[in-house]
Homo-oligomer: A and B are copies of this chain.
Amino acid sequence: MRILLLGGDGYLGWPQALHLSARGHDVHIVDSLVRRRFDLEHSIDSLVPILPLRHRVACWKHLTGRSLSFEVADLTDHAALSRTFADFRPEAIVHYAEQRSAPFSMIDREHAVFTQVNNVVGTLNVLYCIAEHAPDAHLVKLGTMGEYGTPNIDIEEGFLEITHKGRTDVLPFPKQPGSFYHLSKVHDSHNIMFCCRIWGIRATDLNQGIVWGAITDQSTLDPDLATRYDYDHVYGTALNRFCAQSVLGLPITVYGRGGQTRGYIDIRDTMCCIELAILNPPGRGEYRVFNQLTEQFTLLDVACKVAEVARAMGYPATLEHLPNPRVEAEQHYYRTVHTGLERLGLQPHLLDERSIRTLLELAARHSGRVDPSVLSPRIDWRRLRNRVRED
């Protein structure tokens, strides 16, 4: 199948390109490389060294004989994207090409505006290109579980049957996103749903949990194929930070009380979910939503899991609670439905002792590259609220 992979140089986009290429699909990568520029601007870097896109692609060709084509282009450049659609005529579009960090979007007004304009306009351009050039193609769009927030009811997959004053309808699940980034994904979801309705586009919106792991079947073939491992305060996940802190003998820092519960998924499962969505497209005009996670944990659960394995490996691994830089419930109900992808055949890899050990070993191997100065939170959701009070 001809698959256009938007954001194919990123943490998930790159191993996804390899995964789909390995399965025999014809993959064309579009990436603006802006994520590498963010590293420079914020003095952060992947813990695991990554190669320039050109070299990664050459390595893959050398190892497997398979070709990946790629171009450097930004989705907000509609003319460029339009040419790509006209030339490549994709049958499926996998859309990873968004600014994906919540803290980044909360730095200041400029970063909030950049995140929303970049993500919303990029996705609008993709939708127009599909309608104009590839009306039968299937859009597979990465959303986030963070779109839902933490409601006091079970989180269904995109839609909810509601009975109110004796009448019933199935309506979009109410959203309560927690950052300008998460908001941008909610905006996207509404825009995509509308385009499916008016133009008959087919789309799958994958509300993904927090992805852990950096190793896939393809990335293990050669260190030159490695994907990113972010542990810093802008792009890093808590789990990655915990691993980096552990191998440096630093305390594992939990923001707030630690009762924040979220969905999680192994990077290998993400690879499979995208493929399963592609192989089982929705009908024309259908807007389909899956919750892409396999387990859920509180932040404290995750910290304790990492600490336990780290201690067994000989690290001190103490826990420390820091003031929470985010505005979020720290103790709340959380239960999610995530049966859609499992029905399509997903077989989850769970976050067990062995998986955590693998992550800690990866962090240990590159511990010389950890910059302790980027481990502490410096982006404060309440910044303007706090500043105002000081006046």
Contact = CB atoms under 8 A, between A and B. Distances in A.
A373 interface: no
A180 B121 CA distance: 12
A319 B199 CA distance: 30
A164 B173 CA distance: 12
Contacts of A160: 162, 164, 174
Contact of A135 (B131, B191, B194, B388): B388
A120 B113 CA distance: 9
A171 B154 CA distance: 12
Contacts of A125: 109, 113
B198 A327 contact: yes
A154 B162 contact: no
A175 interface: yes
A64 interface: no
Nearest to A179: B194
A369 interface: no
A184 to B, nearest CB: 9
A333 B167 contact: yes
A172 B172 contact: no
Nearest to A133: B388
A23 to B, nearest CB: 29
Given A174-B172, A174-B173, A186-B190, A200 B167 contact: no
Contacts of A167: 152-154, 333
B174 A171 contact: yes
Given A132-B384, A174-B160, A177-B194, A169 B183 contact: no
A112 B190 CA distance: 14
B152 A168 contact: yes
A128 interface: yes
A180 to B, nearest CB: 8
Nearest to A159: B174
B190 A194 contact: no
A199 B162 contact: no
Interface in A362-387: 381-382, 384-385, 387
Nearest to A333: B167
A113 B109 contact: no
B172 A165 contact: no
Contacts of A78: 109
Contact of A120 (B116, B164, B193, B198): B116
A221 interface: no
A365 to B, nearest CB: 39
A69 interface: no
A164 B154 contact: yes
Interface in A78-99: 78
Nearest to A129: B109
A169 B151 CA distance: 7
Nearest to A121: B113
Interface of A: 78, 109, 112-113, 116-117, 120-121, 124-125, 128, 131-132, 135, 151-154, 156, 160, 162-165, 167-169, 171-180, 183, 186-187, 190-191, 193-194, 197-200, 327, 333, 381-382, 384-385, 387-388
Given A112-B124, A175-B190, 15 more contacts: A116-B121, A116-B187, A131-B384, A132-B384, A135-B385, A135-B388, A153-B163, A153-B169, A162-B164, A167-B333, A174-B174, A180-B191, A187-B187, A199-B384, A200-B388
24 contacts: A109-B124, A113-B125, A116-B120, A116-B121, A116-B124, A116-B191, A120-B120, A124-B180, A132-B384, A153-B163, A153-B165, A153-B167, A153-B168, A154-B165, A154-B167, A162-B162, A162-B174, A174-B174, A179-B194, A187-B190, A197-B327, A198-B327, A198-B385, A199-B382
